[in-house]
Structure 1
Amino acid sequence: MTTTTPSAAPASAPDGRHASPQAPPEEIEAFAGRMFDVLSQASTALMISIGHRTGLFDTLTSLPPSTSTQIAEAAGLQERYVREWLGAMTVARIVTHEHGTDRFSLPDAHAAVLARAAGPDNLSAIMQFIPLLSQVEDAVIHSFRQGGGVPYSAYTRFHELMSELSSASHDAALVEAIVPLEPGLTRRLTDGIRVADIGCGRGHSLNLLASAFPGSAFIGYDFADEAIDAARAEAAEWGLENASFEVRDVTDLTGTGAFDLITAFDAIHDQAHPATVLGQVAAHLAPDGIFLMGDMRASSNLEDNLAIPWSPFLYTVSTMHCMTVSLGLDGAGLGTVWGEQLALRMLADVGLTDVRVEQVEGDFINSYYVARR
């Protein structure tokens, strides 16, 4: 593979038209260097995803400094692939390499961010978005040109990945930190109330609540059959008799009755018709009911998001998934970065005017909206 560095632009176009002023060479060189950094970082993200899915980071944490042969044997993988992956991780300064002994190791500080034992602090799992989203690049480009969007069915492993990410954070924080954002809610759940989860996916969050609060009744709604099947399977495995799941379009909750608590975790901005869904939430809250919504922490104002280091990721996920799946259903295309200001306006529009926006310590991605009528 060959690459070229950018050359200076001509002062005028070949047909004699005036061209844009030429940028200073040092600015061109600096920006070209930045683009190569982007290429390297994106490549590293892909290799980190592979390391996560193959368990190589976990294997490295369990071994002393080891050769590629020893690491491959311990991981049950092919040595030649492991050796090349270790090369990528070494030049990315993620894995250390002892030149004389040809042994590799994962520093403790890196393991605390990349190994599964890190729980919700494990950032290797989120790197899986890079290969997942790249699968639909052609379809998204088609949508750029022709309109419409990409269906959920085009995303292999999407529910699996989202379940992995939400499970890690909710295992650590849902019962102990997120539920207590509303004073008295833990007591009410203990005493027994009706709870619904909108866009429940594989249902792990709802099953966690059902397990922690056996006196309450829980139901999860999602329109994906595969996700609901997984949710029911986990509930059965855990022996939960107070959790049920239903394949349902949540733009219409007719016949479900009133709920004392409705939750929606990272789900509203994906909806084809989010305003309709929020209207249904408001209409189906009991008089003293609570809507607990977790969604991306961002501003509705583009200029404010310049200060968020991971905002390029948020806009990319929006373009490649959240916005396009909504547009694919002739929806609003709200997008991942709908932001706090728009979220508050949309909640107020459906009568949920008593809203607090909360954060959970250690969760730098999400904001939590605690809303009442």
Structure 2
Amino acid sequence: MGAKAELFSKKMCDILNYGALNLAMGIGYETGLFEALSRIDGPASCTEIAAEAGVSERYLREWVGVMVCGGIVEVSADGQGNELFELPEEYIPFLCRSGGNSNLGVYTQEIPLLTDCARQGVLEGMKDGAGIPYARYPKFYSFMEELADAKHREVLVRTFLPSVLGGEMVRRMKKGISVCDIGCAEGVALEVMAQAFPASQFTGTDISEESLENGRKRVADLGLENITFKLQDAAGDNVEPEQFDYITAFDSIHDQTRPFAALQNIHNQLKPGGIFSMIDIKADSSISGNMEHPMGPFLYAVSLMHCMPVGLMGGGTGLGMMWGREKAVSMCRDAGFSRIEVTDIPEDGFNSHYLCFK
């Protein structure tokens, strides 16, 4: 076997092992096994870990085998030679909810969920080029909404908005402006902003009536009277011009079937001098430009399994999550924005902030 073939053989073994490890870690995260391990002080037996997590000991033993062989959990022995297992303290922030933005363990659920939802659809799409409807992804959307909601509650008002225009956007929102969130789902971002800036008026648009109705019920229970929800396609023909001072879109533009029309509508809905914050994946527009991206394979896989096929529905563009900076800037400029500034986002390594000026 030549050197190149030998290296590729090793790489294939790594791929199979890491794919299996991701699957098992996703199960461990969802069932609370990492949280249980983090609560145990020192090495513990399978019996003790299973009791702490409330899971089957037999299933736990097989799962911990994956973790030990994968270098996630350490194994030792007591005086009688019984195996004991421990999650290193240094790993806890990356695997448990207590880690906040350092927590990468939560993302181990993403590929298994997408496989459940869309594998057959992607196999069919490879042959006929058809898209996959939103209705095929209920479990995935529940997961993503939970993830986004937690993030909004933690960083939106504390770190993101203060970074917009060097704090000027916060000053405007305190004084009172009109704000719209495109693709708002159940409106957690709106809720957080409306509570922090009661003098401003907030509107959320989405294509899911169920999500909007859930949002209406929640903000009514909270007594928030400065939020309105609208059933509206971001690329639809029924948008009212010059309504808003500030528009946000959190990872929603690349999923649109007609993303350019959506960007044109956003430009039209802004008042003269209005601002648009588009938060989207940090990437290059060329595949070769993403070869050194630390999460490149993962992000392209998510796009393959969700973002691109939902964007193909109804003869859509199928832009995909990895449309990248160059294409994003070009499309925003062609949609009418006079200036686009692209910056990193505090405490967010996945996304870029496209600040667009009308």
Q: Give the CA deviation at 1:220.
A: 1.2
Identity of aligned residues (%): 39
What residue in structure 1 maps to residue 30 of structure 2? 53
Gaps of 5+ in 2: none
**Normalising by the residue count of structure 1, what TM-score does the alignment of the two structures yield?**
0.89
What residue in structure 2 maps to residue 84 of structure 1? 62
What residue in structure 2 maps to residue 194 of structure 1? 178
Structure 1 contact 44–92 (Cα < 8 Å) conserved: yes
Q: Give the CA deviation at 1:260.
A: 0.8
Which stretch shows the higher mean deviation, 95-104 or 286-295? 95-104
1:95-148 CA deviation, whole Å, 9 max, x = no partner? Answer: 112233422221111111000111222111111111112121121111110121
Q: Is 1:40 the counterpart of 2:25 in the alignment? A: no
What residue in structure 1 maps to residue 347 of structure 2? 362
What residue in structure 2 maps to residue 286 of structure 1? 271
Q: Is 1:317 the counterpart of 2:302 in the alignment? A: yes
SS in 1 for 2:247: strand
Which stretch shows the higher mean deviation, 211-220 or 290-299? 211-220
d(CA) in 2 for partners of 1:226, 1:256:
26
d(CA) in 2 for partners of 1:175, 1:87:
42
In structure 2, relative to structure 1, the CA distance for the partners of 1:230 and 1:83 (3 Å cut) is farther
Structure 2 contact 37–87 (Cα < 8 Å) conserved: yes
Q: Give the CA deviation at 1:171.
A: 2.8
SS in 1 for 2:271: strand
SS in 1 for 2:311: helix
1:247-280 CA deviation, whole Å, 9 max, x = no partner? Answer: 3212135247611111001010000000000010
Corresponding residue to 1:296 among 273, 281, 287: 281
1:270-295 CA deviation, whole Å, 9 max, x = no partner? Answer: 00000000010000001121101100
d(CA) in 2 for partners of 1:294, 1:237:
29
d(CA) in 2 for partners of 1:121, 1:365:
12
d(CA) in 1 for partners of 2:93, 2:61:
23
d(CA) in 2 for partners of 1:278, 1:122:
32
Structure 2 contact 247–266 (Cα < 8 Å) conserved: yes
d(CA) in 1 for partners of 2:240, 2:14:
54
Q: Superposition pairs for residues 121-132 of structure 1, below 5 Å? A: 121-132=102-113
Q: How many residues align?
A: 350
Structure 1 contact 204–234 (Cα < 8 Å) conserved: no
Q: Give the CA deviation at 1:298.
A: 0.5
Q: Aligned AA for 2:286?
A: N
1:181-219 CA deviation, whole Å, 9 max, x = no partner? Answer: 223100111111111111112322222111211221112
SS in 1 for 2:345: coil
Structure 1 contact 200–220 (Cα < 8 Å) conserved: yes
Q: Is 1:274 the counterpart of 2:259 in the alignment? A: yes
Structure with greater helix share of residues: 2
What residue in structure 2 maps to residue 8 of structure 1? none
Which stretch shows the higher mean deviation, 136-145 or 60-69? 60-69
Q: Aligned AA for 1:99?
A: A
Corresponding residue to 1:74 among 48, 52, 68: 52
d(CA) in 2 for partners of 1:203, 1:93:
39
d(CA) in 1 for partners of 2:88, 2:215:
37
Q: Aligned AA for 1:147?
A: G
1:129-168 CA deviation, whole Å, 9 max, x = no partner? Answer: 1111212112111111012111111113222221232233
Structure 1 contact 159–202 (Cα < 8 Å) conserved: no
Q: Is 1:25 the counterpart of 2:25 in the alignment? A: no
What residue in structure 2 maps to residue 225 of structure 1? 209
In structure 2, relative to structure 1, the CA distance for the partners of 1:94 and 1:226 (3 Å cut) is farther
Structure 2 contact 281–324 (Cα < 8 Å) conserved: yes
Q: Is 1:138 the counterpart of 2:120 in the alignment? A: yes
